[in-house]
Structure 1
Amino acid sequence: MNKNTVNNLPSANKAFRKTLLVSAVLSALSATTLQAQENDVDEAEKGGIERIFVTASKRQTGLQQTPIAVSVTSGQAVEQAKVLDIGDLQVLVPTLRVTPLQRSINTGFAIRGFGNGTNNTGIEPSVGVFIDGVYRSRAAALIGDLPKLQQIEVLSGPQSTLFGKNASAGVISVRTGGPSYDMEGKVEASVGNYNQRLLRGYFSNGISDNLAFSVSGGMNTRDGYSESISGIGDVNDRDRWNLRGQLLYEPTEDATFRFIADYSEIDEVCCTTAGFVNGPTAPAIEALGGLVTSDEDPFSYEVALNNDPTNHVEDSGISLQADIDFDGFVFTSISAYRINDSGFLNDVDFTSLDILVEEANVEIDTLTQEFRLTSTGDNKLDWMVGAFYFDENVDTTGDVLTYGTMARPYFDVLNSFNPATNGLFDTLEALYPALNPGDILGAGSTIANDFIQDNQAYSLFVNFDYHLTDNFTATLGVSYTKDEKEITLESENTDALSQVDFNNDLTVYGVPLYQVFMGQGMPEAVALGTVESLKAFQFQPQMLELPNAAESNKTSDDKITWSLRGAYTFNKNVNFFATAATGFKASSWNLSRDSRPFPSDQAAIEAIPSLQLPNQSYGTRYASPEEATVYELGIKSNFSSVSFNATIFDQTIEGFQSSTFLGTGYVLSNAGEQNTRGIEFDSKFLVTDELTITFAGTLLDPEYVSFVGGQDENGPADLSGTTVPGVHEKSIVAGVTYDLEFDNGIYGYLRADYIYESNVRAVGNIPDTVRRQVNTLNVSAGLNFENGVSLQLYVRNLTNDEYFLTSFPRPIQSGSLQVYPNQPRTFGASISYTFD
């Protein structure tokens, strides 16, 4: 390819060419390091960078020998960086993006720009989350301090061949330490700004020679950092506590049983949103004496609500892992049962007027079972066979929108701005026999929906590692997954306007409504326009329930996925790997108020009189499965004073499940093909015995290759060939740690962590003016004394960096936009005592 050909490549490929250039430079640096330090193996084994072991392949292997793109964060790094929530983890892992949403129970995860899972309970995440081997199906189950954290592994790319449920974009695997036979424990107390109070403790000891236990607990409270300008309480507080107990039983040298029981509770006022654009409806709010937050400074951390947005979550579970060592293989069983019960009440008009309130309760009961047989010993062929079973019930009861006392006055004021619609509701109530004065948008009218989802899934998997030579290993993994869901939807809409059927030529005493308006003196064009205006106010028409005689309320999906990997050991310091793999995620149902029949079911619905609803509309009930494919080339190297890992990848998800919030509900659809090409790398340098530098990053070229039926700010659109919004093309994290050691035995550290995420459009259906860019610096310092006492100081977001987490259209206020501002600067101090 000549120079002119390169220069004429489509602009969409330029970012990827940059990643290849960076890759070449980094590889060259690594090769130089390789040549300069080939003789440092012995020193690496004596000291320097410690060897890291991971379970990414579901057997313990060295990080450098594992042919998977995996980022590892140690428990020590989490402690030193003062990661208090899983959302803070992204400051240490550039390939991971964590986005808190409207409620404490919802957090979105993305790896390499792929991820979903929103306030729509039906959408399971594309990033699978496992804690001590147990799959957690919803982000609500993740919040809580985990004691004795060992490490967190973030696996990039589809992992469906070994992880049996929804790992089409990647996996977050969290591991904690088991009980100890020797007495050990730790207690910690922290204080910080916004009246932060944190207390947690851990204790472990042996009961007998083969039985040990551990108990832990903690509480975390903080005042809200967003002040109300309407006289209610502050928003974005913390009020959490948790308990966890473990038993470790080893009746013989060949058998280990680990039992875990945990309970956590959240009771918070969450979450802060701010006005970005106060559209043409704002004068109507103000005319009624209401308040909206200023759109001049979204980072004023002010809210204008008429009630506290309460969130309550109770999460509990038990698990039992059994590992039994036979001659030549190990049998592993992981059984778990979890209950997640959450509820919320939110002021969803985001003004001080009592217009619209949403509340719901969601209970998720999950049973999982995994069996594995894994070969042991030194074999030419290592193997693993297993099965995974998943049974979950999602019960969303009382998902209710309630019109407040100011709903009707608010819409009356909006109508008064237009002479053609002034007094429109009064006129309609006077003309239409079924309506009484004040019925339309009347206070206390509700839109109530109950959703139940029953989901059973299983997968069977095999994995073979064939050691062709001492230096080259080929790995083949194959998995078969079957996933079935059944949905029940019950709906009741008591708003009088929802009973009015505009699509069937609403008549009053046999006369079309527009003619009635003409009889009141309106010109025909104005009368027709007035009827259309009425349709706009019917923003939540009746919802067709499931099951019904025309639609299926079930999905059944199955797929064979595979992975093929090659790992080459250049020497004890350097390894190369190549991967081709596929992934799968089953259908996700739209469990929101915008769950609408597919257009393909319209004829069948219209043929059954009992299914006729006023103003029946069509959309989507569910999104079809996701199918992922990835190709990777990677290098992993580890020397006495430097380690470097890099992966070049080309990853595609066909049928990516896109969920877009429109202000009252969600549009759930499948992107034809979403592709991301790029490079991710991480490195660690021991500059001196005291000074350590870490540097990692992800460079991406995200694109909707095809997406007909997507959403932009103007509504349905063809997004094919456009850049995926919300995905940063460049993400960089850098850390510096300086270890301190004094003659009296005291040792400590100074640490700084910086994250940069390049400027990007925040959300696809929001104007491009809402953008996100991150430049955040965290610092911490600690001292450890010989008597077990430790002191720590920390500051998160030292520079008070300001950016938006995401954005959405403000409900029932056309032209208005809300944003989620990031958390402001927080700081604190802690003291702990470790004993053994």
Structure 2
Amino acid sequence: MNVSMSTRTMSRLTLSIAALATAQVAAAETPAPQKPGQFGVVTTGDDGEIIVTTTAQKRFENMQRVPLPVQVITATQLEAQGIHHFQDLDRVMPSLVVRPANHPVNTNVSIRGIGTFAYAIGVESSVAVTIDGAPVAFLARAINDLPDVAQIEVLRGPQSTLYGKAASAGLIKIMTTQPTDDLNIRANARVTGDHEFGESLSITGPLTDTLGFVFAGGYTHWDGNALNVINGKRVNGRNTLNSRAKLRWKASPQLTFTLSGNYLTGDTTAARPLIRLSPEARLRGDPELTRAFVLPGVAIGPDNQTVAYNSPSATRYHGGGALLRSELELGKISLLSLTNVDRFKLNDYFDYDDTAATKFTGISQEIGIFRSELFTQEFRLLSPDDAAFRYALGVYYADTGFDRPFYRGPGFALSRLHATAGSRQIAGFGQIDWQFVPDLTATAGARVQNERVHYTYDAQLTGKSYAGHDSDDAFTYHLGMNYQATRDLMLFASYATGYKGQSYDLSTGFDQARADSGPIRPERSRDKEIGIRSQWLDRRLTVNVTFFNTHYRDLQAQTIETFADGRFINRLTNVGSLVTRGIEVEGVARPTGDLTLNGNASYLRANYLKFADAPCYPLQTSAGGCPDRTRRQDLSGERLPQAPTWRLNATADYAPAIGGNRRGVMQVTWEYQGAMTYAPRDPEVAQAAYQIVNCSLGMRDDHHRWEAVAFLDNVFDQRHYSSMVNVAGNFGLNVATAALLPRDFRRYGGIRVGLNF
């Protein structure tokens, strides 16, 4: 598979490069001109107003003029709030929830309560991710450190019209540092009291009058915040090395080529400490496999940070890719071409029995490999940004392949498989914005696409092999109206549809029945929104509010079906229908030049409307809604998992002048998350509400050329979990709950320093 995929990729890349010689391109999605030493896409208006730009509509626009629910966070904000990893993004974006797993492939990212958690390869997330405008093959490729980010945008709600079939719930756009006209060097380092250190370096500037460059890299090491008592080593940590390089060639005043390449390598150690375990629990119900025997030295309880693993629980990964961006302007119209190739490999290992058991009946280890390969080609035709009649038209092609050998055993939950999955997508899209009367603009957009999916599945325990393919056509659209009532007040309303393509359930329970039933149906969504974008008090106060109501049909959801004897199978299914609705608020206040206040809030109500064939959770009784442990339950009307009613954050940033061209740095951040559950109705995986306070204190140069800050995260040492798993099936159907610990499970502090010149 890899040889044939590589051959196809190289031939397509050759053809695309030849086509690009005649392509014309717009500057959309290239970060706006930056002042020397600044890496975020933030500019200053004529009246001193700080303007945050966004590329939500595939062109650069002032965020206050964009009729979409989008939140932007710049590199400066990421650094100030200690956001160094993809999993930390939900700390500053209330509508976003990132639920990690024992390895990145199983991480679930949701927006407004909607995401996709699936073990099956080829199943895309409902939240898409792009880097510099090019999509990633799957989320694990993006769940990493963020060493060279210029800004990150989160677009909430269906974005399928402009961004394709994997954006039925939203989109995360990561934009990296771009070449600048002057030499700029930025270096950052941090060290913490719990054995984390990280360094990053970014250099950008000109080589000649027509050739510019970027080199960026970063390394992070963290021991982790859990202890494996079997070997005495820290776990739940990571080592990551990232690098990216770019060359931008201005072939003529109208034609520009930017070639970028990236490479990453790293490893993680996994841990999910047991926080609850019944005294009667025996591993696999075996009387000899007692708690004292299989969990020696483990202090089980809500504060537990110890595990007893006698098998490897880790990942090792590496990958790289290249992106060729070609821009040519002819008169007032522009054409953009993006050619993207990417390859990624991840080896994963996990001590599935969560113990140090040595008896055969209690041993189960997972060993697997994920391989992905992606090729995409996109062309966009764009009108001038300031025209009354604006358009963005494009065509898109993608070819994606996955390869997954997997083994689990030998004592229980046996599985041995080798699966491959692939998809080929062709799409055409467009959006028109027409200001047909002063201050009133209508928007209409549509996307038409065809996708072909295929798979192979070798069930090595039974000796049976399966293969199949299918195709599907889809049409999505976006309609909207916005009214610029005053210079500082914009109102908008929109209606959009979303789509995520069909997929095969290539998980451990695949059999002839699943092969005969074909792929899981596509996921579709319908979204209604009303929003206000406003600024007050001479633009010292910004308040943006969005009301949304989104219906989903055939949501693709991963379930685990547990049987009375503790056996289980993974199962991908379609949820009949559900609804998510609520209010989102973003606010920024600048009372003085030294003080900035930020606040964001999300109120969410997300419920199943129809889900009559959902599996029961482990230990569920008839009184709890399950007729018996082998039957199914009706979750219609139930609240969605991973969808807290309230999520809020606020930041106070005070930078007073202290003389000698220096300023103090004082910052306090507060995060609140309401109660939620990680599986419907299951009390064993219910996360209580919690709040976290972080603070920092330091000094910087008046022009941001250097900074030194001491910080303390989780000041009040509030315990919380980033995920919880009911593992009662492994312990004779007695209470057994494991948890994944977030980076700030315990209070920690450190120092960070930065240079920017």
Same fold (TM over 0.5): yes
The alignment status of 1:638 with 2:535, answered yes or no, reads yes
Native 8 Å contact 1:117 1:125 kept in 2:
yes
Amino acid at match of 2:470: T
Aligned to 1:801: 718
Native 8 Å contact 2:122 2:422 kept in 1:
no
Aligned to 2:407: 400
- In structure 1, the gaps of 5 or more residues are 1-42, 408-440, 494-541, 548-552, 602-619
Native 8 Å contact 1:240 1:264 kept in 2:
yes
Alignment partner of 1:773 out of 683, 689, 694: 689
Native 8 Å contact 2:165 2:498 kept in 1:
no
Distance 2:355 2:431 in 1: 55
- Which secondary structure does the structure 1 equivalent of 2:76 belong to? helix
Distance 2:572 2:131 in 1: 29
Native 8 Å contact 2:275 2:303 kept in 1:
no
Aligned to 1:703: 607
Aligned to 1:5: none
Distance 2:725 2:518 in 1: 22
Distance 1:181 1:694 in 2: 32
Native 8 Å contact 2:639 2:680 kept in 1:
no
The alignment status of 1:821 with 2:738, answered yes or no, reads no
Aligned to 1:526: none
The alignment-based identity, stated in percent, is: 24
The alignment status of 1:113 with 2:113, answered yes or no, reads yes
Native 8 Å contact 1:488 1:546 kept in 2:
yes
Native 8 Å contact 2:546 2:585 kept in 1:
yes
- CA positional deviation for 1:296: 4.8
Native 8 Å contact 1:276 1:296 kept in 2:
yes
Q: How does 1:391-430 map to 2 (within 5 A)?
A: 391-397=399-405, 399-403=406-410, 407=411
- Which secondary structure does the structure 2 equivalent of 1:742 belong to? strand
Q: Deviations over 1:355-414 (max 9, x none)?
A: 1111001110011111100111643321121011110110012x01131xxx4xxxxxxx
Amino acid at match of 1:456: R
Alignment partner of 1:579 out of 464, 476, 494: 494
The alignment status of 1:281 with 2:282, answered yes or no, reads yes
Native 8 Å contact 1:299 1:821 kept in 2:
no
Bigger drift between 288-297 and 679-688 goes to 288-297
- Which secondary structure does the structure 1 equivalent of 2:207 belong to? strand
Q: Would the alpha carbon gap of residues 543 and 66 (structure 1) be closer, same or farther in structure 2, given more than 3 Å must change? A: farther
Alignment partner of 1:451 out of 419, 439, 450: 419
The alignment status of 1:688 with 2:592, answered yes or no, reads yes
Distance 1:300 1:277 in 2: 12
Amino acid at match of 1:171: L
Aligned to 1:40: none
Aligned to 1:386: 394
Native 8 Å contact 1:215 1:245 kept in 2:
yes
Distance 2:163 2:613 in 1: 31
Amino acid at match of 2:657: E
Aligned to 1:188: 188
- CA positional deviation for 1:233: 2.2
- CA positional deviation for 1:761: 2.3
Amino acid at match of 2:398: F
Q: How does 1:272-351 map to 2 (within 5 A)?
A: 272-278=272-278, 280-282=281-283, 284-286=288-290, 289-291=293-295, 296-351=300-355
- CA positional deviation for 1:231: 3.1
Aligned to 1:554: 469
Amino acid at match of 1:784: R
- CA positional deviation for 1:595: 2.2
Alignment partner of 1:754 out of 670, 684, 690: 670
- Which secondary structure does the structure 2 equivalent of 1:580 belong to? strand
Q: Would the alpha carbon gap of residues 400 and 621 (structure 1) be closer, same or farther in structure 2, given more than 3 Å must change? A: farther
Q: How does 1:707-786 map to 2 (within 5 A)?
A: 707-713=611-617, 714=620, 716-764=632-680, 766-767=682-683, 770-785=686-701
Q: How does 1:175-214 map to 2 (within 5 A)?
A: 175-214=175-214
Amino acid at match of 2:497: T
The alignment status of 1:569 with 2:484, answered yes or no, reads yes
The alignment status of 1:590 with 2:505, answered yes or no, reads yes
- CA positional deviation for 1:808: 2.5
Q: Would the alpha carbon gap of residues 184 and 600 (structure 1) be closer, same or farther in structure 2, given more than 3 Å must change? A: closer
Q: Deviations over 1:692-751 (max 9, x none)?
A: 211111111111000121233245211111111221011111111111222200124211
Native 8 Å contact 2:365 2:408 kept in 1:
yes
Native 8 Å contact 1:631 1:651 kept in 2:
yes
Distance 1:138 1:600 in 2: 23
The alignment status of 1:834 with 2:746, answered yes or no, reads no
Q: Would the alpha carbon gap of residues 490 and 829 (structure 1) be closer, same or farther in structure 2, given more than 3 Å must change? A: same
Q: How does 1:354-503 map to 2 (within 5 A)?
A: 354=358, 355-376=363-384, 378-397=386-405, 399-403=406-410, 407=411, 447-493=415-461
| Greater fraction strand | 2
- CA positional deviation for 1:173: 0.7
- CA positional deviation for 1:785: 3.1
Normalising by structure 1, what TM-score? 0.78
Distance 2:739 2:571 in 1: 19
Aligned to 2:624: none
Distance 1:769 1:462 in 2: 43
- Which secondary structure does the structure 1 equivalent of 2:674 belong to? strand
- RMSD of Structure 2 on Structure 1 (CA): 2.3
Aligned length, in residue pairs: 681
Q: Would the alpha carbon gap of residues 348 and 662 (structure 1) be closer, same or farther in structure 2, given more than 3 Å must change? A: farther
Distance 2:658 2:105 in 1: 45
Structure whose CA Rg is larger: 1
Distance 2:246 2:496 in 1: 36
Amino acid at match of 2:349: L
Distance 1:685 1:650 in 2: 28
Native 8 Å contact 1:214 1:247 kept in 2:
yes
Amino acid at match of 2:529: E
Distance 1:140 1:113 in 2: 20
Q: Deviations over 1:588-642 (max 9, x none)?
A: 32222122444794xxxxxxxxxxxxxxxxxx76421100100001000123210
- CA positional deviation for 1:291: 1.3
Q: Would the alpha carbon gap of residues 747 and 721 (structure 1) be closer, same or farther in structure 2, given more than 3 Å must change? A: same
Normalising by structure 2, what TM-score? 0.86
Distance 2:593 2:701 in 1: 20
Aligned to 2:263: 263
Distance 2:381 2:724 in 1: 46
Amino acid at match of 2:655: D
Bigger drift between 129-138 and 176-185 goes to 176-185
The alignment status of 1:812 with 2:730, answered yes or no, reads yes
Native 8 Å contact 1:67 1:567 kept in 2:
yes
| Greater fraction helix | 1
Native 8 Å contact 1:766 1:808 kept in 2:
no
- Which secondary structure does the structure 1 equivalent of 2:593 belong to? coil
Bigger drift between 578-587 and 791-800 goes to 791-800
Q: Deviations over 1:780-822 (max 9, x none)?
A: 2342237943212222322222223222232533333322233
Q: Would the alpha carbon gap of residues 309 and 621 (structure 1) be closer, same or farther in structure 2, given more than 3 Å must change? A: farther
Q: Would the alpha carbon gap of residues 377 and 81 (structure 1) be closer, same or farther in structure 2, given more than 3 Å must change? A: closer
Amino acid at match of 2:523: E
Distance 1:58 1:158 in 2: 15
Q: Would the alpha carbon gap of residues 76 and 802 (structure 1) be closer, same or farther in structure 2, given more than 3 Å must change? A: same
Distance 1:782 1:455 in 2: 51
Q: Would the alpha carbon gap of residues 293 and 568 (structure 1) be closer, same or farther in structure 2, given more than 3 Å must change? A: farther
4+ residue stretches of structure 1 with deviation over 4 A? Answer: 292-296, 662-665
Amino acid at match of 1:801: Q
Distance 1:384 1:572 in 2: 25
Aligned to 2:248: 248
- CA positional deviation for 1:45: 5.1
Q: Would the alpha carbon gap of residues 709 and 143 (structure 1) be closer, same or farther in structure 2, given more than 3 Å must change? A: same
Distance 1:313 1:180 in 2: 32
- In structure 2, the gaps of 5 or more residues are 1-43, 563-567, 621-630
Distance 2:344 2:307 in 1: 29
Native 8 Å contact 2:586 2:601 kept in 1:
yes
Distance 1:180 1:456 in 2: 36
Distance 1:368 1:304 in 2: 44
Q: Deviations over 1:641-690 (max 9, x none)?
A: 10000011110110111112457542211111110111111111112222
Distance 2:541 2:73 in 1: 17
Bigger drift between 345-354 and 738-747 goes to 738-747
